[in-house]
A = this chain, B = another copy of it.
Amino acid sequence: MTPIHAPDVLISEVGPRDGLQSVSGTMSTAAKCLWIDALAAAGLREIEVASFVPPKLLPQMADAAQVVQHALRHTHITVMALVPNLRGAETALRSGARKITLPISASQAHCLANVRKTREDMVAELRAVVALRDAIAPGVPVEAAISTAFGCTLQGQVPEDDVLRLAVACAEAGASDVGLSDTTGMGNPAQTTRLFKRLFQEIGERTGAAHMHNTRGLGLANCLAAYEVGVRTFDSSLGGLGGCPYAPGASGNVVTEDLVFMFEAMGVSTGIDWPTLMAAREPLKAGLPGETLYGMTPEAGLPKGWRG
């Protein structure tokens, strides 16, 4: 799968942040570093390695700065970190993160529950983060990730106009790119098509990643729909880490391996090497003993005659 030109899509691996944040076990700093090294070796070009939240809220992320520090040795990797607020952004930027992402919920109910701020306050926070970035780390992209963009377990349906209005506000506040997250696994392909089409119309090239979940089995179909309207960055997690992607109530991240297989089978290059990606499951298993890893293509193997 070695590309002879720039890959067609960017798979943004969120396992070390989104995945680890959602499991009960805690991975040691050393194990995280080994896992990130393996992901980088497989050809992943963007890895969300940590979340800069107060350690008392998420002890699993207490080593965020150390993990970022380690990941920076991979000079070709966009070392990404989640920040919930200005304070987290400052620590992340001073740690050397090459991209930061701020989650802002389209659902007011979820926004208040998640970060105890309104959507409007979060847009103001984003503006402050962008100003800080300009001051201390110019050139580092700041992503706004619109969570619950496809529905909310608290408020139910989320009006598409709310999603678009918020996305535009984020772009106006200076976000480098604005992604849409199906936090709750409620999205469907028609909705994915509509939302990303409108997002492209509104903010053009600042349209960011599709972060889809597989809670109801539609993860890959939704990624396909997003791809077809022009999305080229997709979040996923190795082994579907972050709770069983085939069960309810779980994070249900799209499985990196299956996503890579889908695109590569379609002739859409990912820049990722399959055997090395499979090998990257080993340090994950070793670092989180007992955690179930998912992925149907890893179980079934590549089809007979693959690229043969």
**Among A34-42, A74-82, A162-170, A213-221, the stretch in contact with B:** A213-221
Whether A255 touches B305, Cβ cut-off 8 Å, given contacts A224-B225, A248-B299, A265-B188, is no
Docked CA distance A292–B151 (Å): 30
Mark A213-255 against chain B: 1 for CB-CB distance below 8 A, else 0: 0111110110111000000000000000000001111000001
Counting every copy of the chain, the complex holds 2
For A300, the chain B residues whose CB sits under 8 A away are 185, 215-216, 247-249
Contacts of A303 in B (CB 8 A): 151, 153, 156, 184-186, 216
B266 and A188 contacting across the interface, CB-CB below 8 Å: yes
**A247 to B266, alpha carbons, bound, how many Å?**
21
- Given A189-B262, A215-B300, A151 and B305 touching (CB < 8 A)? yes
Residues 181-230 of A at the B interface (beta carbon under 8 Å): 184-186, 188-191, 214-218, 220-221, 223-225
Which of the residues B153, B186, B218, B296 comes within 8 Å of A262, measured between beta carbons? B218
In the complex, what residues of B have CB within 8 A of residue A295's CB?
217
The answer to whether B216 and A258 touch across the interface, beta carbons within 8 angstroms, is yes
Main secondary structure of the interface of A (DSSP, over half): loop
Tell whether, in the assembled complex, residue A152 and residue B304 are in contact, meaning their CB atoms are under 8 Å apart. Answer: yes
- How many residues belonging to A are interface residues under a CB distance threshold of 8 Å? 46
Which residues of the partner chain B approach A190 to less than 8 Å between Cβ atoms? 265-268
Cα distance A297–B248 in the bound complex, in angstroms? 8
A-B contact pairs, 27 of them (CB 8 A): A151-B304, A153-B303, A153-B304, A154-B304, A156-B305, A156-B308, A157-B308, A186-B303, A188-B262, A188-B266, A189-B224, A190-B268, A191-B266, A214-B296, A215-B300, A216-B296, A217-B220, A217-B258, A217-B262, A218-B220, A218-B261, A218-B262, A221-B221, A221-B224, A247-B299, A247-B300, A248-B301
Task: Return the 9 tightest CB-CB contacts between A and B, nearest first.
Answer: A156-B305, A188-B265, A248-B300, A190-B266, A217-B296, A186-B303, A217-B258, A157-B305, A221-B221
Chain A interface (Cβ within 8 Å of chain B)? 151-157, 184-186, 188-191, 214-218, 220-221, 223-225, 246-249, 255, 258, 261-262, 265-268, 295-297, 299-301, 303-305, 308
